[in-house]
A = this chain, B = another copy of it.
Amino acid sequence: MSLRENLLLYLVTDPVICGPKGVVPVCREALKAGVRFLQLRDKSACTREMVETAGRLARMAEGFGAVFVVNDRVDVALASGARGIHLGDDDMPPALARKILGPEAVIGVSVRTREGAEIAWREGADYLAANIVFPTPTKPDPRKPLGLGGVKDLAEATPLPLVAIGGINRENAGKALAAGAAGVAVVSAIMGAEDPGKAVMELLEALGAR
């Protein structure tokens, strides 16, 4: 499976949205149902806890042939055996992460503009995330949603695979692909689902993969 194929349905964790079920069990259900790209995102846990959770997710993802990356924390990625890292504007510059993680690591970068996409490509990103596409309940976000037009614009501007993130659900997932995205990334649509496995299958269907 190529990185582009892995990116079709990309799950970002959230310890609050998944509630008492817990991140690891929800990720297991999602991987079983067909998610092939997983990102640990946690802005509140201490490093020791993050390393422990990341280690469990890394081993689990590997068993399913999925790519596992950590949001922001290169230290947690190194300590857990993650395949790579996802970086935003507040995180380490991609070129620095590449220097630390080496040529084999998968590095994703959130972008909003053609210029940002060009810089991320030059800095060695392996994939980009158009962030954010639709308004999202995951976090209060002052950024104007890019919309499907923004996805199309970014996809045309870069040779890298692009995932659409922000407010993605089974109604609009197919439209993101039609606009040029290689895949969609979701938080709430799976993390907050009563039946995460069913939510994955419905999203894969909307993406034409079932």
Contacts and interface: CB of A to CB of B under 8 A. Distances in A.
A79 B47 CA distance: 17
A122 interface: no
A72 interface: yes
> How many copies of this kind of chain does the complex include?
2
Interface of A (DSSP majority class)? helix
Interface in A62-100: 72-76, 78-79, 89-93, 96, 100
Contacts of A46: 90-91
A199 B48 CA distance: 35
Contacts of A76: 75
A51 interface: yes
B51 A79 contact: no
A100 B79 CA distance: 7
